[in-house]
Structure 1
């Protein structure tokens, strides 16, 4: 049996789609952390069968838009004195900037290097975004 202690003060990122925990772990740079971090992969879940969990014994500034874009089903628990102080449920953000790069070679972002890559959510059910400048489509599943 695997035992991971509870977090006294910090963050638990829960309900991550199985196999995607490493993406969030790497995005947050947790491999270089000076504090305790646990990445639990393929844990059993009553809701979704299998899930990943990240436990962080520290309080970090998290970009909820990016995390919601990576996996809109995750929940973030803020822990104080081993109790959940706040639970945050994420969703796909309506607009993302500089998270996705437009792949259309004729898009203005290919020429203007300092121009932000801006995408708007057009289909929440399928996780589809469109480039503000050229309407190139991007699906979250392509990530």
Structure 2
């Protein structure tokens, strides 16, 4: 049986879709974090059958909107003094800026490079966003 100790202080990213943990690990550049990091993959779960978990010693700055885009079912636990200080249930963010790029060549963001890419959620079930400037649809693929 695999044994990964608990954290005294840090972050636990839980309920990650099985196989997505490595993508999140790489996106967050956790190989560069000062402290221990555990990526546990394909763990049995009552809720999901299989899931990934990431444990990060010490608190690091995490973009919760991007994590919500990558996997809206994630739970983030902030651990302080061996206790869960805060539990954050992620979901698809209602608006995102510079996390999705508009692919429409006629969009102002394609012509003017300094303009931020802004998208708003139009259909949570289909994970569909639209560009704020040109209304181009963008569907997230998980």
TM-score range for the pair, normalised by the shorter chain length: over 0.9
List 4+ stretches of structure 1 deviating above 2 A: none
Q: Which runs of 5+ in 1 are unaligned?
A: none
Aligned to 2:33: 33
State the Cα distance separating 1:34 from its structure 2 match. 2.1
Aligned with 2:113: secondary structure?
Answer: coil
**Aligned runs of 1:81-92 on 2, under 5 Å?**
81-92=81-92
Aligned with 2:85: secondary structure?
Answer: strand
Q: Deviations over 1:65-123 (max 9, x none)?
A: 11111111100001112211111101111000000111111111111000100110000
Aligned with 1:73: secondary structure?
Answer: coil
Say whether 1:108 aligns with 2:108.
yes
Say whether 1:7 aligns with 2:7.
yes
Aligned with 2:86: secondary structure?
Answer: strand
Aligned with 1:105: secondary structure?
Answer: coil
RMSD of aligned residue pairs (Cα, Å)? 1.1
User: For 2:131 and 2:76, how far apart are their aligned partners in 1?
Assistant: 28
Aligned with 1:104: secondary structure?
Answer: coil
How many residues end up aligned between the 2 structures? 142
Q: TM-score scaled to structure 2, two decimals?
A: 0.95
Aligned with 1:121: secondary structure?
Answer: strand
User: For 2:140 and 2:50, how far apart are their aligned partners in 1?
Assistant: 20
Say whether 1:123 aligns with 2:123.
yes
State the Cα distance separating 1:24 from its structure 2 match. 1.4
Aligned with 2:122: secondary structure?
Answer: strand
Q: Deviations over 1:7-42 (max 9, x none)?
A: 111000000111111121112110112200001111
Q: Which runs of 5+ in 2 are unaligned?
A: none
